[in-house]
Structure 1
Amino acid sequence: MPKVQVNGIDIFYEVKGTGEPVLLIAGFMCDRSYWSLLLPHLISHYQVIRFDNRGIGQSSAPNSPYSTQQMAKDAAAILDVLGIKQAHIIGHSMGGQIAQELALLYPKKVKSLVLLASLAKGNERFHQLVESWGDVATKIDLKLYEKLILPWIFTDNFYAIPEMVYQLIEWVTNYPFTPTADGIYHQSRAIINHDTTDRIKDINCPTLVMVGKQDILTPVIFSEQLAQNIPLAELQIIETGGHGFLIESTEAVTQAILKFLAKFQ
């Protein structure tokens, strides 16, 4: 699988399917594998590009500050390498922050935007939480780290099936491309420093803003603020699932995305 060199680092990506291009941008501590449950549904209709953000997976993890604008430039470079002039952009959480910057920096590259469980700017509670996640990355092992984070990602219904949680933690800790402490730290700071509050009014492409009703990390109000301030945005609240609704409520999220994208065919 190929890499592209941009901004002095290597970004790992892959392309599957045919049709209109769709670029998937994952969130904090997540590489391209986070889209695995959604991927089969998308590649039957679209050319899907997944990649590892800087700091994660098989991309470089430089020990220097990251920003969502910088990561948007990484994403744009992949489109350029592939000769793609315009794509549908889908971002989850931090990936949605990156997607916002991509739409602002390169409006002609973005045909539509899907922002999943994302935000324009966090509140103080959110910032302190994400800051602590970056700080403890060097203090504890990955298994304990996942146990610390996952209650913010999944709902009571998910935790009601203990083997699901156990299997997920085991998969993450045994994954061959586990995140580095430096990558985790610098991604956390990119999230905290992101602020498009006064600029999202300039996003002029059709936008779907989606959030899980039970999301306690990026609560519904964050998505409401996005939808209210992006001129061509619509808001959809998924009744089941929290921040990790790509895993917990895959079918509902997939159907909503496919319905939205079908408007452009």
Structure 2
Amino acid sequence: MTATEIATGSGQYADVNGINLYYETHGTGRPLVLLHGGLCSGEMFAPILPTLADHHQVILVDLQGHGRTADVDRPLDLTLMADDIAALIDHLGLQKPDLVGYSLGGGVALQVAVRHPQKVGRLVTASAHVRRNAIYPEMLQQQGQVGAAAAEFMKETPMYELYQRVAPRPEDFPRLLDKIGAAMAKDFDYTEEVRGLQVPTLVVAADADMAPPSHYVEVFKLLDGGLRDGGWAGESRPKGGHALAILPGLTHYDIGESPLFAAVTLAFLDKQD
């Protein structure tokens, strides 16, 4: 099944939090809100969406300025986009759905759990570093080159093709690059927010991600993980029900469509406490 086939016929818009948010609903079961990476859309999950939808009702969202959701007059800010998702949860009447996010979407999902813990069941955050300086210096340098001036050079990329095909205003692509570039240039450190998480959280990363595996181990330690032996019956595992998965043979750019990512996500979400 292609991304286009998956994405047709089930899309709707929700006017929430000052933005007309595009979302699709797939499958049945306990709700799962699925959030894509930067310069992508919900379509990026096409390879694993059928697997997830076999077990859950998947609400696939296009974030601000991405995919079929038009941009609005505000920066691309994780907290604002998190409030969009919280408002969508209310709009749809969902009862503590699980949140699964990759990269930018992982950061948004984390902020929903931080800002609206009462609206969230379980959290899976994949390839989402929690400190800007955790990522490799050469990646910071590359991120510094993202802006409207790069639009011409990106015309052969899948990101540009997707945007031209589905965006309500295809001419906004340079503006999206400017906003993404500005967002990536801002320093951040969510250490304390992670330490205070109140929902069971799975931290996922590729073994060759944008930040080293040690960073995601550090995040796990903030969640009471990796500090002691877990015990024969798991009695000494992290107190909040948190977990860590470093997935082999993957990178930041292919983890979101990997069957391994789907497998560890479902194993964590469907775990019976």
TM-score range for the pair, normalised by the shorter chain length: 0.7 to 0.9
Corresponding residue of 1:186: 179
Contact 1:54 1:183 (8 Å CA) reproduced? no
Q: In the TM superposition, what are the counterparts of 1:78-89 in structure 2 within 5 Å? A: 78-89=88-99
| Preserved contact between residue 3 and residue 12 of structure 1 (Cα < 8 Å) | yes
| Alignment size in residue pairs | 240
Pairwise CA distance, 1:23: 0.5
Superposition TM-score, scaled by structure 1 size: 0.81
**1:46 positional shift:** 0.5
Q: Which residue is equivalent to 2:129?
A: 119
State the partner residue of 2:230. none
What is aligned with 1:140?
153
Is 1:256 paired with 2:250?
no
Gap change, CA 1:196 and 1:140, over 3 Å in 2: same
Identify the residue that residue 203 of structure 2 maps to in structure 1: 209
Q: Summarize the Cα distance change of 1:55–1:222 in structure 2 as closer, same or farther, 3 Å threshold.
A: farther
2:212 counterpart residue number: 219
Q: Which of structures 1 and 2 has the larger relative contact order (alpha carbons within 8 angstroms, sep 6+)? A: 1
Q: Secondary structure at the match of 2:28?
A: coil
**Structure with more of its chain in helix, by fraction:** 1
Residues 34 and 58, structure 2, Cα contact 8 Å, conserved in 1: yes
Letter in 1 for 2:87: A
Distance 1:49 1:191 in 2: 26
Larger radius of gyration: 2
CA contact (8 A) 1:200 1:230 kept: yes
Structure 1 unmatched runs, 5+: 147-167
TM-score, with length taken from structure 2: 0.79
SS in structure 2 of the partner of residue 239 of structure 1: strand
Q: Give the alignment of 1:1-265 within 5 angstroms.
A: 1-123=11-133, 125=137, 126-134=139-147, 136-143=149-156, 146=157, 172=162, 175-177=165-167, 180-193=173-186, 194-215=188-209, 217-231=210-224, 232=240, 233-246=242-255, 250-264=258-272
Superposed displacement of residue 176, structure 1: 3.6
CA offsets per residue over residues 36-67 of structure 1, 9 Å max, x none?
A: 11110011110100111101111121353221
Describe the superposition over 1:3-61 as per-residue Cα deviations: whole angstroms up to 9, x where unpaired: 11233221101111111000011111111101111110011110100111101111121
